[in-house]
Structure 1
Amino acid sequence: MQTGLLCPYFSSIIIAMRTPDLLRDSFFGRIAYHVSGRRLFQHPEEHPNFVLPRRYAAHLAGPSLQTRHFASSSESLDPPPPGLITNLDVGASSSTLIGGITPGIEAKIEDHMAKKESTAAREVLHRLPQDTERVDLAATAKEEQRAHEDPNIVDWYGPDDPECPRNWSLAKRCFVTCQIGHLTFAVFIGSSIYAPGTADLSEKFGISVVAANLGITLFVLGYAFGPMILAPMSEIPQTGRVSVYMITLLIFMLLQIPTALAKNLGALLPLRFWAAFFGSPVFATGGATIADMWPPETQVIAMSGWTLSAMCGPSIGPVIGGFAVQAKGWTWTIWIMLWLTGATWVFLAFTMPETSPQAILYSRAVRLRKLTGNPNLRTQAEIEGENMTMKEVAMMTIVRPFYLGFSEPVVLFWNLYVGLAYGIQYCFVASYNVIFTGHHGFNLGQNGLTFLGIVAGGIVGFIGLVPWALYVLRPKFTRGEFVPEDRLPIAFPGAFCFSIAMFWFGWTSGAGVPWIVPVIASAVWSLSVLLLFQAGLNYLADCYPRHVASVMASNDLFRAIIGAAFPLFSTAFFNNLGVGPAMSIIGGITVLMLPVPFVLYRHGAKIRSWSKYTG
């Protein structure tokens, strides 16, 4: 979501959570941790009063000179039973773990640790009680069984481990979700903030407007190909998501400087492409970040908020860009991008925590290996990564998204549907110039303000999704009745509104119709797109849970390629045909796509059964 809507809430959210944890787990905090030789921003395992869970203490690799205590303060575990020896040599073998005390006292220790182990994370890590989530008892039992079978697997300390992103407080999860939305907005605005300056740029560079529009096309193509290479890096446990976000955003920000100083199209276009390429990981990984924190029954609300921020970027870009070009020329659209992303980078560098469970557990495994001296302690992701060949990595990140996008009917149709909606958003940039500048006499700044109708429609769609998610979807999860097709009913009104809005917008664009009428049509369109996006993307994730990254990369690729093509022909398309006939052609295509959610709702389970990738 854009910063303007969120600023009033930031202060109260920060007060409600433990800010030192945000700083410790931020990009800045991790750098300070390593630069200081692991003395600053330490984790609980590095504190002298940390209680080593029994499963790791019982499998120590060798002698150690460190001495740890079960409890050293009232904030730690409850006092041990009378007569319990509280000093533990963590280097002792399992046979001498209790240091020669009697079997009776050893039994007391075992009993005491067993009782406290499920809540050890909260008590030992000195956290405030978190909001509780419903625990899947079967999954928990399975994890406990796996831990018992292989004690060298590093996992969460218990179902209420506060380090697990889904156990974070509601305030912290909302705050991080807003951060992802703001990052998406800050990068996505770059595609359209440039658009109002194409006429000024074409005049100064001595090129056609179509050639100037290549700056939009190549920027959107950067969105398409960047996630194919950069987004999978966020799945590497040693890297995590935050490092990818912060390093790529820094490159994106720095590339704005030579872009604004470019003196010809040959310099400008490659810079626009590479800026979008490096800014793109959030488009494929942002949804994964949200899934890290939110359970499936409430995930749709957080995802719709993130989608709204993605819609606001290209919609608010012309508002800011229009006034900037009118006052200072096209280069100021790029300087504004530099200021916005610079402020975003500083804010996120100090406050955005890591959300990837694999990365969090990997860092924990490193600390536990150092603490126990046991080099065999590893996470499941480490083990799986070691067994993957370069061919398998290439297949997962490059080949599989293309294959699924063309071979799976469910993926193909949703990719085309969502891609069409995405392309129309860039089509609006050209049609608005014809309608509001040409027919109604608006200047660049006033023309940009008309895009706020898209923002308003998206907000209405988001508000409508919340009760549907809470009172329709959530009970199905609770009762265990949920199937992927339950995601689709919200797309039914979206599909009808999508087609209606195209004809409404096209045939009310004349000078004789009040300007507010097509603006309302654009609001109906954005409402429909939000509903379609949420139904489609969540449905794809539910249908292909083992290949979510590949399916989302495929969708992102289709969406960006279609979106990149529209600016190349849209100006001539609307000027030559007129807005009404041109929008009617697009509306006719949306009518042909309208049955997709209905067919999948009725026959989706059967179609999914044909595929070896679903389930």
Structure 2
Amino acid sequence: MLAILRDTGLGYILGLFSPTRDQTLYLEPTSLIWQYQRHEAPNGRRGVPQNCITVTDRSAPNRSSHPSGRNSQLSERDGDFVDKIEEGTRDNAVGWYGLDDPENPLNWSKSKKAFVSVQIFLLNTFMYMGSSIYSPGIDDVMKEFGVSKTVATLGTSLSLLGYAIGPMLWSPMSEVPRLGRNSIYILTLAGFLLLKLPIVLANNIEIILVFRFLTAFVGSPAQATGGATISDMYLPCNRSYGLGLWELSTWIGPTLGPLVGGFAAQAKGWRWTIWELIWINSAMFLLIFCFLPETSASNILYRRAKRLRRESGNESNHSESELESLDLSKKELAYTTLIRPFKLCFQEPICLLLNTYTSLITGLLFAWLESLPLVFGGVYGFNLGQVGLAFLGLLVGSVVAYLIFVVWFFAFAARKFDDLGYSKPEERFIPLMAGCIFVPICLFVFGWTSRVGIPWIVPVVGSGLFSLGGFSLFVSILNYLPDAYPEYAASVLAGNNFIRCTFGAACVLFAAPMYEKLGLQWASTLLGILGAVFVPVPFLFYFYGDRIRGASVHALKDY
């Protein structure tokens, strides 16, 4: 337990108030440091001198030196780790101490990795739930403030826009060695909770709309940085399980929102949907503050170097990321933090095409979700709470999709990884090749079975097909992007999140008018046709991925 607490927000606070104020809980025990300095690993294995280790501080390896295109990174196969360490090129560059440094997230136990993954899953679920929990109360907002449905729906649309823009700032900041990922998670979640209060106390629609955007903007890091946190702990051969769980939360969150908010809006009005969000995320804040350890290798090594400078009096001890940042001007640092995600997003052929594809499916999802109250409330006469229960089809479908993926990956895909834990990135597209057809099928089935005379369970079951297709999309693309851009995982995932949430925000606004003009059947048919247009994309990447990566400047090419 101490090993977990030492590297959490709570551990940092306890360290500040310890008798010696040396942050022992937050960093690492002095005895451990000097054991390694004497080349004595805690388990009896000999370490490596601190000043001749330069292992990359980022979670992604530089693969240019290894004969097979892979460089210094711990590798995992059958639960055993093999450390590939090369001599450093800089004096006093503080890296990992020895073959089995326990502070390296790649060396954490499976139970600790699973514990962290579950926390990221819950954080993303509860934060993303905020995008749709407001929807059941839209009619109440219209009545209380005397606004049109389009204006009231802006609360959902602006929330998605906040989720789109926020990670473009927070995700690159999480890659800054001094900050790491934990400080971003904790501070932004605290801001999210505080900014929710003006919404529940609002006396006009303008306050609601402004703070719906601000809360989503501030509370958005888990949308993209969560994937980078998973990547910090797992090599590609095992990353799929954790990333799959994180991606599952992107489906469970929006579908859980109407379920949780429906009964609250029906019983207590729209303000109680926001109160529920505050209560749930307050508990989440306590959980991550007390038990979520830092996973960023650059931050862990930055703090290790800081501690070594204090303990040894040698001011030349710096981590590799510190040395790199010292060479950067303010302009270069601003570029890395703010400009690079946008540049990768719009200039890299891989990112441009895959971001377009994911934004289309996300837009279809949020546009189609607007039809569920029309179908189950209008056609089948459900009340608000019962309409929320109708979203269980999507929820169950996403869980089934994850279980199918885990079984498939364990039984077949894991064999395609080599001894160092890597495989060709395009292998990630196999689930999408199998599942991409389910999105248009769902939209066709749902649209033409949502009518009087056909039992309500038929469109509910049909809605689960969307989850099968959508989950296969995200589990493929959000695993592929870190493989193709290992050094920029947080930035490319933030760019993907930016495009798809922005498009989703726009689709929410035109969805209701579209369904009113075209009707349930033909509007769903139009969305299904749009979904079918992009079915060839995963096949294109699977067969021609080498060429596409070759045309992308920053993508890895030597797999």
Q: TM-score, normalised by structure 2?
A: 0.90
User: Per the alignment, in what secondary structure is the counterpart of residue 116 of structure 1?
Assistant: coil
Equivalence for 1:269: 209
Distance 2:122 2:219 in 1: 13
When residues 460 and 272 of structure 1 are mapped into structure 2, their CA distance, relative to the original with a 3 A threshold, is same
1:302 partner SS: helix
1:21-80: CA deviation from partner (whole Å, max 9, x where unpaired): 22222101102212331266265442499424247xxxxxxxxxxxxxx8xxxx9676xx
Q: Deviations over 1:244-281 (max 9, x none)?
A: 10010001011111110001111111111110111001
Q: Is the 8 A contact 2:12 2:23 kept in 1?
A: no
Shift of residue 498, structure 1, vs aligned partner? 1.7
- Alpha carbons of 1:614 and 1:44: their partners in 2 closer, same or farther (altered >3 Å)? closer
Q: 1:32 aligns with which of 14, 36, 49?
A: 14
Task: Decide whether the 8 Å contact of 1:181 with 1:305 is kept in 2.
Answer: yes
Count how many residue pairs are aligned between Structure 1 and Structure 2: 528
Trace 1:192-591 onto structure 2 (pairs within 5 A).
192-479=132-419, 482-591=423-532
Residue aligned with 1:460, SS:
helix
| Cα deviation 1:426-460 (Å, max 9, x = unaligned) | 22332011110000000000000011111111111
Secondary structure of 1:38's counterpart equals coil
The 3 A distance-change label for structure 1 pair 39 and 459 is closer
Summarize deviations over 1:140-176 as a string: whole Å, max 9, x none: 2x2xx22xx5450111112211111111111111011
RMSD: 2.3
CA contact (8 A) 2:440 2:528 kept: yes
Q: Which has the larger radius of gyration?
A: 1
Q: Kindly provide the CA deviation profile for residues 535-564 of structure 1, in whole angstroms up to 9, marking residues without a partner as x.
A: 112222222233333322221111111110
Judging changes above 3 Å, is the alpha-carbon distance between structure 1 residues 40 and 479 closer, same or farther for their aligned structure 2 residues? closer
Contact 2:7–2:27 (Cα < 8 Å) also in 1: no
* CA offset digits 1:496-541 (Å, max 9, x no partner): 1122111111111112211111111111111111111111122222
1:554–1:361 CA distance, 2 compared to 1 (3 A): same
Q: Give 2:35's aligned residue.
A: 51
For 1:116, the aligned partner's letter is R
For structure 1, the 5+ residue unaligned runs are 1-18, 56-69, 79-114, 121-129
Q: Distance in 2 between matches of 1:432 and 1:367?
A: 56
Task: Indicate how the Cα distance of structure 1 residues 404 and 357 shifts in structure 2: closer, same or farther if over 3 A, else same.
Answer: closer
Once the two structures are superposed, residues 332-371 of structure 1 have per-residue CA deviations (whole angstroms, 9 ceiling, x without a partner) of 0111111111111112211111111111111111111112
Question: 1:187 aligns to what?
Answer: 127
Q: Secondary structure of the equivalent of 1:488?
A: helix
| Residues 285 and 77 (structure 1), Cα distance of their counterparts in 2 relative to 1, 3 Å cut | closer
Instruction: State how far apart, in whole Å, the 2-side matches of 1:533 and 1:376 are.
Output: 44
Q: In the alignment, what sits opposite 1:16?
A: none
Identity over aligned residues, as a percent?
Answer: 40
1:242 Cα offset (Å): 0.8
Task: Give runs of aligned pairs for residues 139-158 of structure 1, distance below 5 A.
Answer: 139-140=84-85, 142=86, 145-146=87-88, 150-158=90-98
Quote the Cα distance in structure 2 between the aligned partners of 1:266 and 1:20: 47
CA–CA distance in structure 2, aligned partners of residues 402 and 453 of structure 1: 35
Q: What's 1:14 paired with?
A: none
How far apart, CA to CA, are the structure 1 residues paired with 2:162 and 2:241? 28
The CA distance in 1 between the partners of 2:23 and 2:240, in whole Å, is 40
> Which stretch shifts more, 558-567 or 542-551?
542-551
Hey, what's the Cα distance between the residues in 1 that align with 2:32 and 2:502?
54
The separation in 2 between residues aligned to 1:300 and 1:538, in whole angstroms, is 7
Q: Could you tell me how far 1:386 is from its partner in structure 2?
A: 1.5
Check if 1:116 corresponds to 2:46.
yes
Q: Which residue of 2 aligns with 1:102?
A: none
Q: CA 1:131/1:162 → structure 2, altered by over 3 Å: closer, same or farther?
A: farther
One of 99, 107, 113 as aligned partner of 1:173: 113
1:603 to 526, 539, 544: 544
Contact 1:546-1:613 within 8 A present in 2 as well: no
Give the Å deviation of 1:181.
0.6
Matched AA of 2:237: E
Q: Is the 8 A contact 1:24 1:42 kept in 2?
A: yes
* Larger RCO (CA under 8 A, 6+ residues apart): 2
Q: What's the CA shift for 1:372?
A: 1.3
Q: CA, structure 1 residues 520+153, in 2 after alignment: closer, same or farther (shift >3 Å)?
A: same
- Contact kept, 8 Å, 1:297 with 1:469, in 2: the verdict is no
**Which secondary structure does the structure 2 equivalent of 1:51 belong to?**
helix
Query: What's the secondary structure of 2:436's corresponding residue?
Result: helix
Residue pair 1:252, 1:276 contacting (<8 A) in 2 also: yes
Compared CA separation, residues 550 and 358, structure 1 to 2 (3 A): same
**1:131–1:170 CA contact under 8 A, matched in 2:** no
Question: Taking structure 1 as the reference length, what is the TM-score of the superposition?
Answer: 0.82
> What SS does the corresponding residue of 2:315 show, helix, strand or coil?
coil
Contact 1:131–1:169 (Cα < 8 Å) also in 2: no
Go from structure 1 to structure 2 and tell me whether the alpha carbon gap of 1:119 and 1:327 turns closer, same or farther (over 3 Å shift). farther
Cα distance in 1 for partners of 2:27, 2:177 equals 17
Larger CA deviation: 363-372 vs 205-214 = 363-372
* Shift in CA distance, 39/604, structure 1 to aligned 2, threshold 3 Å: closer
SS across alignment from 2:454: coil
* Distance in 1 separating the partners of 2:167 and 2:33: 43
Equivalent pair of 1:546/1:614 in contact (CA under 8 Å):
no
Deviations 1:203-234 (A, max 9, x none): 00011111000111111111111111122221
